Chain A
């Protein structure tokens, strides 16, 4: 028997009230933890996908749309850019690395990205099976795509025009799966990746070309198009020169991933702040509820407290007993809330995966969660302060003389 077991016995004795307080606190904590997990993972993922990309060159339009479509595979592209002008930029002296992307097709919700092997290297992609593409219409698929669509090496599939599932199918030219990537936690997981030429080949019929095996040579340069260029600067000076060069000299525009994602987060941030405020209100009301419960319980327990004093308890023992009860309640609620928050994050992750969005998992621990637990414990202790003080001041003789 110690303060913990006594506290626990009292919590059990009024279990309905205890349950209510624990639930209230758990809901608040769960909301905070869910927000924490979602924003941290989203932030990490966004950062990882944009890592090493200083600038994206795309067609004129919303710069955020250019970033979302080319780096994160989230929005639709703004349009295409001419091959020859893109080549000029790629060869610019301030450019260290330029990865072309040809977008526009998809297969059952997975985007098809025509690019070069440099794109795979940029994200450090590793093959789980097969090899990289070598010929036109050979494709490498991301781990999520392979799992979701149950695609294996050698499988053939038809891409369709557009990002939805209802686009017109490119019936004449099936892709063949030659490689499956290991999960990387990047945008690659959600993509079907092939050569730029493969994407061009899909649209070869517009140019009345029948034999697509040599498509790059058969298309005239002015018939070739990219959707975007992912660019890494050669030196910091490029940041001052290249965007202006792109914006002034072409029908293209330069969009900065760092700037646009910061802008995106400041927009999302408002919603996150509102939710966080709501969660704090929940935690605060849980604290208030714990306070009221302990305060009311004092009335029923005044004889118990007086009796403990007659048995030799010092005032500070009773103080600690009440504080401990608040703390215990808060810790149970806090731990339950954290478990609940992780379960919600995992559930949300499943829903997002089904919708082909950036996914979230509950199977991770963010170090800020310790602070959430500390917050819950703090709320429990603060809620118990006044009841504990009253227990400390118990007038034994007066209480016992009255009954």
Chain B
């Protein structure tokens, strides 16, 4: 589904990321592990096409990411990749409904309110469609963020530290949510985390060693 080969990234000549090889198949679920500072967020950005690595090969959904123009990358990301950011970053000026419609609009997809309602219902958030993000609890906001990431039925779902700062019960809930939603749209799931609690729940692990 995706494959990384000899990927390196450097800021100001200082290497921050080294990935010799990592391959995943469609529908697989992965944890990307590593101590903080090992480049987890950077690698997630590379997978998302947000960041173009200094060197290496990146293929996502049969697409050579290094060959895409910057605006083609934006389009590709909008249609094929869903991202749950660590700080969620819902847009507070817009309602929950519109936050999700925005994802469809920005990806160049038709705006489908029925699909948005379905996704919200599957996350038990149907009654919050007209709420503003600041009116939601953290748990609810996290579900909206997941909904926004999956509303376009992505092939690749990325999550950045989704369980940090959550108690054990919540941690399990969020993980279940991500696994279920990824399965529902057949997406490959990559969770970047240093949370030891969820290690046993996901079969595939990729360990980031930190930059050499």
Contacts and interface: CB of A to CB of B under 8 A. Distances in A.
A6 to B, nearest CB: 7
Interface stretch (B103-111, B165-173, B181-189): B103-111
Contacts of B163: none
A315 B71 contact: yes
B41 A401 contact: yes
A294 B182 CA distance: 38
Interface of B: 41-42, 45, 48, 50-51, 70-71, 74-75, 77-79, 83, 85, 87, 89, 91-94, 98, 101-103, 105-108, 111, 148
Nearest to A13: B93
Interface string A303-319: 11011111111111100
Contacts of B89: 303-304, 306-307, 400
A123 to B, nearest CB: 60
Contacts of A403: 87
Contacts of A5: 98
Given A309-B74, A310-B50, A400-B50, A1 B91 contact: no
A110 to B, nearest CB: 60
B93 A309 contact: no
B107 A10 contact: no
A5 B50 CA distance: 26
A111 to B, nearest CB: 62
Contact of B102 (A13, A308, A316, A400): A308
A10 B45 contact: no
19 contacts: A1-B98, A1-B102, A1-B111, A2-B105, A6-B102, A9-B93, A13-B92, A303-B89, A310-B50, A312-B78, A312-B79, A313-B106, A314-B71, A396-B45, A396-B50, A397-B50, A397-B51, A400-B89, A401-B45
Q: Is the interface of B mostly helix, strand, loop or mixed?
A: helix
Contact of A311 (B41, B51, B103, B111): B103
Contacts of B101: 1
A81 to B, nearest CB: 75
Given A6-B94, A307-B91, A312-B75, 15 more contacts: A9-B94, A13-B92, A304-B89, A306-B89, A309-B74, A310-B50, A312-B74, A312-B78, A312-B108, A313-B78, A314-B71, A314-B75, A396-B45, A397-B45, A401-B45
A275 B201 CA distance: 74
A81 B41 CA distance: 98
B87 A9 contact: no
A6 B85 CA distance: 21
B50 A309 contact: yes
Contact of B45 (A9, A312, A400): A400
Contacts of B106: 308, 311-313, 317
A322 B184 CA distance: 36
Given A1-B102, A310-B85, A315-B71, A401 B93 contact: no
A6 B71 CA distance: 21
A400 B85 contact: yes
